[in-house]
Structure 1
């Protein structure tokens, strides 16, 4: 089916390529000319403005935004809504806060546009392995977009689902990322303990490889930890600075509002804040893990 992809960064570009490989018609737009040229080289079309993109698409149009959460989504929405018609569909596949999604959906509804929120996980590996998609929105719109979800997911019947009404997709992705914080923190602390036991002179990469097979703590994050440790298990070139992109904070805030104790996720968030004041091995491994799964930038050690 035909789709207009707005935002051709790490996620948007690879999602477009996965759709193209499966015979969907992708027309992209990005502020970067280089990003648009790269998509064209892979068989996609591009347009140099949102107006030209909308004009090119056949009604009812489907536009998918993969832009950073926050002001970028609002400014894109401001530009798009006057161009769209009743029956068109607009997807936010970024990490927007679900409360913002509810407000944006209300704006879209006023002009007859269906707003769909898709929590998207998979990072830079999604092109080959598929994306985990947590979808919120009206039934009719979800049914119409099912061919896209089935292509982007690891398989047509696995790794994606319609989890509820609009806002539900981003809420589930928020909690997903909160859990991710906790799991990453546990790995980081465990390897820090091993690193500190100097008399055994542990080979941390060897241990990570042992744990990857048969162990009850095996996971994709452990696979990525093994890859990072294989490159350099001392990690001395990485600064112990771990960013947080918002979802962990939002998860903790929701837990407090709902009177749900979430000490592991909360402490994992605090550790990220603490990483900007302390230099520990655990924090360096956390930074390396974020780079491995999401391509997130790392600070170089001074």
Structure 2
């Protein structure tokens, strides 16, 4: 089928390439000239045959909102927008309602697979009306792994981005567990081969996973991770997951702790830990590391 791809970055560009590899006609548009087929949204819409299908792979927030707003004046009744970015699920229903006034369908699609998706396929989690999802189904099938699986119609509009949000929250927890295990083994005087230990876990163990494969790959390149800073950003979906857990009164301690660990990674000298150190010194006379020299002194 024919599809217009809006956004040709690391994800959108690779997705467009995989769709072309599977025989679909992709017309690509991005703000930057490199790799795009048309120079504007208006030209993209004009190039596509109605009823059109447009897939958006843009940063969440204003870039996505502004693009959808512009499309309301360009698309026509019967056209379909698939929003594949990391949008907060609460925004999806409002956007779907707005587009419906113009006769335009809306499907939210959570996409997982990163830079490896073109080769291995993506996980696609969608929300929307059954008839809208069915129209885009050939695209979902082309993007998911050739071995099968990797696709779910999770529910109505918003469900796709909700389950992708939860997926990313789980990812936070899994990554944090591997990270803590690495630090514990590296700090011990018992384990001589930390990278080899992780590599051994790739077969026959209950923790084998693609994330473990990627960790082993990173340790092959840099066994003690000396080339990296201990600093981690968050995409926002971890925060949304924790917020949803609060909204629904669902305990999510692992995901919450993993999110807070990323916040802690951005502090060169934690103010909170300074308070802990000061209190330990006050009530117990414990040694305190002085900021100027980094030396400990007893009071």
TM-score, structure 2 as length reference: 0.88
Equivalent position to 1:79, from 70, 76, 81: 70
Matched, 1:67 2:58: yes
Equivalent position to 2:224, from 212, 234, 237: 234
The residue that corresponds to 2:19 in the other structure is 19
Matched, 1:134 2:125: yes
Which structure has more relative contact order (CA 8 Å, sep 6+)? It is: 1
The number of residues matched between the two structures is: 269
The secondary structure found in structure 2 opposite 1:118 is strand
The residue that corresponds to 1:162 in the other structure is 153
The residue that corresponds to 2:201 in the other structure is 211
Change (3 A) 1:178 1:92: same
The secondary structure found in structure 1 opposite 2:219 is helix
* Structure 1: distance between partners of 2:26 and 2:181: 44
Deviation string 1:108-160 (CA, Å, 9 cap, x unpaired) is 11111001000000000100110000010111111111111100001385110
**1:245 shift after superposition:** 0.7
* Structure 2: distance between partners of 1:123 and 1:103: 28
The residue that corresponds to 2:281 in the other structure is none
Deviation string 1:191-245 (CA, Å, 9 cap, x unpaired) is 1001101x33522221111000101111000000000011112112211110001
The residue that corresponds to 2:139 in the other structure is 148
The secondary structure found in structure 2 opposite 1:5 is strand
Matched, 1:33 2:50: no
Unaligned runs of 5+ in 1: 37-45, 280-302
The residue that corresponds to 2:100 in the other structure is 109
The residue that corresponds to 2:5 in the other structure is 5
* Structure 1: distance between partners of 2:147 and 2:207: 28
The residue that corresponds to 1:173 in the other structure is 164
Q: Give the structure with the higher percent helix.
A: 1
Matched, 1:193 2:184: yes
The residue that corresponds to 1:124 in the other structure is 115
* Structure 1: distance between partners of 2:187 and 2:225: 14
For the aligned residue pairs, the C-alpha RMSD in angstroms reads 1.2
Deviation string 1:56-112 (CA, Å, 9 cap, x unpaired) is 100100000000011100110121110010110001001100011111111111111
**1:32 shift after superposition:** 1.2
* Structure 1: distance between partners of 2:15 and 2:151: 14
Q: In the alignment, is the contact (CA less than 8 A) between 1:240 and 1:278 conserved in 2?
A: no
Q: In the alignment, is the contact (CA less than 8 A) between 1:69 and 1:95 conserved in 2?
A: yes
* Structure 1: distance between partners of 2:125 and 2:62: 22
Matched, 1:244 2:217: no
Unaligned runs of 5+ in 2: 270-299
